[in-house]
Structure 1
Amino acid sequence: MPKIWKICSQDPKQQVKLSNALGVHPIVAQLLINREITDLKEAKDFFSADLSTMHDPLLLKNMDKAVKRIARAGAKGEKILIVGDYDVDGITSSVLLNKILRQLGIRVAHYIPHRMNDGYGLNEHVSRIAVNEGAGLVIAVDCGITAHHAVDLVNRQNVDVIVIDHHEPNAAELPAAFAIINPKQRDCPYPFKHLASVGLVTKLAQAMLGRESSEHVLDLAAIGTVADVVPLRGENRVLVKSGLPKISATKNKGLMALLELTKIKDKKLTPFHIGFVIGPRINAAGRMDSAQTSLDLFLSEDSQEAYELARALDKHNVQRQAMQRNIIEEALALAEQEINFKEQKVIVLQKEGWHRGVLGIVASHLTEKYYRPSIVISVDNGIGTASARSIDGFHLHEALASCAEYLEEFGGHAGAAGLTIKAENIDPFRALINQVAHETLELKKLMPTLVIDGEIPLSMVNLELAEIIDAMAPFGEGNPAPVFCSRQVTVKSRPALLGKNTLKFWVCDNDYAISAVGFGMGEYQGIISAGQKIDLAYEISIDDWNKSPVPQLKLKDIRLSEG
């Protein structure tokens, strides 16, 4: 799909000001400006990413109340039941909370719902499990913010509930929990609103064990933060930048086994390795069977057991990939057959029997291909379970709130959500959410926009520039890898297709030549040829595969040059 190139305006005066004050290259100063970081203190904090800059955890509404209740549980010898979600954020949050509580001498039990059998998060089974475990307190992590009925059931058993959740709360009413820790709730003074649940559990560790305690949980905190695709700004950047080096040096036997199995133990780890290597394997257990396997992995104290559990996750991931491919093919065929793209801005697809574990991945694929919000529903016994993904300009959670009359449950964020719906309500829901989209989503927003940090001559791309840009790392949501463009460059070599869909060729500008690689861009092989003039948008990467490092263009878009 063609992309709109949005090239950021340059601000030479502000560049000089930031460059001189921070002692950074003018290009880095402009990258800060492009990311709306112009305040000097914010810019300094961005580069330092120091744990000491994190806010006082007691600024979180109800944190003091939660700390006192947990301390009381410890003093009374109560067992605490930890209820976590089955994704990476939920698993890492559960493991970190386990570590905190055990350090305080508190007995712990765990419950991770089975995606197929139990549904999402804090559900109606929790009250029974709490009683059976003899728990005096339930702590829900990465779930619970909309679980009114489940919280009421637990309360009826004279068991208190603490909810630690970063999902969007219902503006009208919160569950009747003993304490809710969520920076997005009304009247919470905590300055940074975008922590993942694992970040909130890290704040709990700081409140209960002191700030220095966060040093010992940074490996899993970084993994959960990156995998949940929260903005890598503010305190999330601190956790990830501080935590990435801790992953390779981890003492967690489960994580050590996973690094060894995936052969990344000795690599310099980046958010890429979490998002595409570690995270999918942790998620795979909950997608294909029970996330208990992932929890057991990170709680294991035995190296051999941990390696066997890591192998089980890897096997689940292979199964997930095969199932995902099949369902994506079915969904694409269904979309081409059923969706009127001129009339419908939101894709809503349904089918009996689609595996619920991969619906989010399928929705992401549809959104990426068609660049419009996508909702993928699996129907079983008259009830549909769905995952949804969105685009910039369409707040998914707000849109679902506008359609609440047709939904049994829903929750999530601006860009991703989940819901349950009766089968007979799917058609009216489809009509209403498209009506909402027609009223709120401009047509021009249905064209993907590629934000470009600046136009530079090809000859400017070298190892020094790549190293200068690396000062902005780690890159991810909220701090994307810088993208540049160069125009009127010449295709020097015949484009070659590597693997299934990777394009590689050389380009030059006068006497300067550099290799370019485009992942998922095989379609361009028949469009460009040696000797042509093209415009390129790209990230600057370093190719050090079996050789000394050299710069390389990681392509984001290709256009035939005009004139």
Structure 2
Amino acid sequence: MLPVCSTELIDIFSLDRESSDLAHSLGCSELVAAVLRSKGFSDMESMSKRLSLDLKDCLNGLDIGPGSVETALEWGKAVPGARVMVYGDYDVDGVCSSALAVEMARESGAKSVHYYLPHRQKEGYGVHLNVIKKALKGGIETLIVTDCGSKDVESIEYAVDNGMNVMVFDHHSVEGNTIDIEAFVNPQRGGSEEAKTLCATAVLWSWAFSEGILPSRWLMERLDLVAMSTVGDCVSMGYLNRALVQEGLTVLKSSKRPGLARLVDRLGLVKEDIDESSLAMKLVPCLNAAGRMDVADLSLSVILTGDLSSIDRLEDLNVRRKKISSDIAADIAKKLENYVEHVMYNPDWPVGLLSAIASRLCSRYSLGFALAAPSGKGIKGTLRVPDGGNAVEILSELAPLLDSWGGHPYAAGFSVSNSRWEELSSALEIKLRSIEVAEKPETVVDYDPSMFDLLIWKDLNRIGPFGQDNPFPCFFTSREGGERLIPLGEGGVHAKIESGSKKLIAFNGACQHRSMERIRGWVYRPSINSWRGRKDLQFIVEKIVMF
């Protein structure tokens, strides 16, 4: 079923003379000018900047917080000629930041470079003391930590006290007790607001670029890793992150990584057409499947070596991930038809899949959800909240009940003992029920889909890359009467809506269009459909607007 809304819940923005004049001044289409105005841009300078990304301009004067210079000095002393271990995390940001750190250490002349990614279910997030002890026994001299480490005080102290050179690159919250070392780069410690939006891979890359750790050209060729992790971590798509992703997509399209090239082909993607949507919908979930279903080392192996057996295994895990996730989401949706429960626990759920499912539920219902399952001797959970909620604030207030927690305002994770789960779940349920989600009108631009062409599509993407805080614009088209409904798919659950040259596709919306008398129009989005080398635009119904 497609979402339905009343006319009052959409704010329709029309093209006018001002949009035409603005388009002439900016050198863009009238549609792009109208979209910029609909997003609240009002002055020429901000609109011009929106249309022309310059990565080097973004990086000029970027403040990633204290410790940058000290870490650069430590890198120069502790990496060349040393036995190095990179310690990362099991999601795509942890994998990509680990890959970048491994390649940087090798390029910097390390004697040997090893890596360790913890097992999501068996070990969980963070730097584990037993791993550090084994590394010391194995002769590791330098430890590079990415996408974690800020709060792993005991493990980091042990490493330093026992003679290890330690550098930490992270982007997670630094509330509470944090590590006390000089070689510690985390923008949350006092970096600029732009720097605070970076994922861990982008933190490491931006630090290396700013401090001149390696030649800029060499680093630019690794922006594919930054693009994948930036999209995968759903960070705010501001000016800097948009520039990083844009350049990273260019690198991906001409990727020199055989493993990624093969994986892209296996996923049915056309390399030249890869965009942020391709990453979010296909490539990133596939790379994440390793850490969610097995061990993240598989994805790291695909990126670093292109090992065919790893690609085969990763593809198989991705198929299983999609099937299990779909089944769990369907079961929860059925349960929610009778009673809305915000906090759910199931002993049979795989912990690694819950974050994606919670995100899907939060987006679909505009409600907060916490999903949890057994992990080791305790319980691990994931929390997602809509606009109006703050996951970090919620878990911070419940910290006395938790063994550990961390995350971002919209998404966070936690662990809790079995004995405290009942108390925690009750408290979480109360907090999630109290989130007030204000229904604010969605701004859409009135534009007939038959007027779209590939040139306008290309011009529209100058406002991208799209993502968190920079959503792809939606458009509105009115029902004129006389539309034809053409069933699509098995059982006719989908439909094509035709009126003259206007054609819309309503996935899972056929039954809602059997009678169109009360339909005023549709909110839709354009997308590219590639088939046998031919590119066409198709127009997907996002929402039905009723009188």
TM-score w.r.t. the length of structure 1 is 0.87
| Matching residue of 2:489 | 498
Matching of residues 31-42 of structure 1 within 5 Å: 31-38=35-42, 40-42=44-46
Which residue is 2:311 aligned to? 310
The residue number in structure 2 matching 1:558 is: 544
Distance 1:82 1:502, change over 3 A: farther
RMSD of the alignment, in Å? Answer: 2.9
Amino acid at match of 2:208: A
State the secondary structure of the residue aligned to 1:414: coil
Task: Give the superposition deviation at 1:335.
Answer: 4.8
How much does 1:10 deviate?
7.1
Q: Does 1:421 align with 2:424?
A: no
Corresponding residue of 1:516: 504
In structure 2, the residue matched to 1:240 is: 245
* Distance apart, 1:458 and its partner CA: 5.9
Q: Which residue of 1 aligns with 2:350?
A: 355
Deviations 1:253-288, CA, capped at 9 Å, x for gaps: 221221232232544111122112211221111111
Contact persistence 2:4–2:544 (CA under 8 A) = no
Native 8 Å contact 1:58 1:64 kept in 2:
no
Partner of 2:398: 403
- Structure 2 stretches lacking a partner, 5+ long: none
Equivalent of 1:80 in 62, 68, 84:
84
Q: Does 1:536 align with 2:536?
A: no
- Report the residue type matching 1:200 in the other structure: V
Specify the SS of the correspondent of 2:142: strand
- Determine the C-alpha separation between the residues in 2 that align with 1:58 and 1:472: 22
CA offset at residue 391 of structure 1? 0.8
Aligned to 2:442: 451
The 1:545/1:262 distance shift into structure 2, 3 A limit, reads: closer
Matched residues in 1 for 2:177 and 2:25: separation? Answer: 46
Q: Figure out how many residues of one structure are paired with residues of the other and give that number.
A: 539
Is the 8 Å Cα contact of residues 52 and 462 (structure 2) preserved in structure 1? no
Query: Which residue of 1 is the match for residue 71 of structure 2?
Result: 66
Residue 181 of structure 2: which of 177, 185, 199 is its match? 177
**Structure 1 residues 286 and 536, CA gap change in structure 2 (3 angstroms):** same
Q: Is residue 135 of structure 1 aligned with residue 130 of structure 2?
A: no
Q: 1:50–1:242: 8 Å Cα contact kept in structure 2?
A: no
C-alpha deviation, 1:81, in angstroms: 1.6
Contact 2:329 2:357 in 1 (8 A): yes
- Which residue type is aligned with residue 506 of structure 1? I
Relative distance call for 1:6 and 1:534 in structure 2 (3 A) is closer
Of 479-488 and 173-182, the range deviating more from structure 2: 173-182
Q: Deviations over 1:417-466 (max 9, x none)?
A: 11001223223223323444465x22x43x5x673332345665555543
Contact 2:13 2:443 in 1 (8 A): no
Give 2:205's aligned residue: 202
Give the partner amino acid of 1:513. Answer: S
Aligned partner of 1:322 in structure 2 is: 323
Cα distance change of structure 1 residues 198 and 484 upon mapping to structure 2, 3 Å threshold: same
How far did 1:315 drift?
A: 0.7
User: Which amino acid letter does the alignment assign opposite residue 314 of structure 1?
Assistant: E
Is it true that 1:95 corresponds to 2:96 in the alignment? no
Shift of residue 67, structure 1, vs aligned partner: 0.9
Q: What is the CA distance between 1:178 and its match in structure 2?
A: 3.4
Q: Flag the structure with more relative contact order, 1 or 2, with Cα contacts below 8 A and sequence separation at least 6.
A: 2
Q: SS in structure 1 opposite 2:372?
A: strand
**TM-score, normalised with respect to structure 2:** 0.89
Of 462, 465, 468, which residue of structure 2 is paired with 1:471? 462
3-state SS of the aligned residue for 1:184?
Answer: helix
- What is the SS of the residue equivalent to 1:297? helix
Matched, 1:259 2:264: yes
Q: Does the C-alpha gap of structure 1 residues 559 and 41 become closer, same or farther in structure 2, counting only changes over 3 Å?
A: closer
Return closer, same or farther for 1:25/1:527 CA change in 2, 3 Å cut-off. Answer: closer
Output the CA distance in 2 between the equivalents of 1:528 and 1:182.
55
Judged with a 3 Å threshold, the aligned counterparts in structure 2 of structure 1 residues 132 and 99 are, in CA distance, closer, same or farther, namely same
* Shift in alpha-carbon separation, 1:381–1:89, aligned structure 2, 3 A: closer
The answer for the alignment partner of 2:122 in structure 1 is 117
Matches within 5 A, 1:334-349: 335=336, 339=339, 341=340, 347-349=342-344
Contact 2:343 2:428 (8 Å CA) reproduced: no
2:489 maps to amino acid: L
Mapped partners of 1:425, 1:26: distance in 2? 58
The verdict on how the C-alpha distance between 1:491 and 1:555 changes in structure 2, with shifts beyond 3 A counting, is farther
Which ranges of structure 1 fall in alignment gaps of 5 or more residues? none
1:554 counterpart SS class: strand
Q: Higher mean Cα deviation, 38-47 or 262-271?
A: 38-47
| Cα 1:153–1:190 shift into 2, 3 Å | same
Q: Could you tell me which amino acid in structure 1 is paired with residue 370 of structure 2?
A: I
Of 489-498 and 133-142, the range deviating more from structure 2: 489-498
- The equivalent of 1:288 in structure 2 is 293
Conservation of the 8 A alpha-carbon contact between 1:490 and 1:533: no
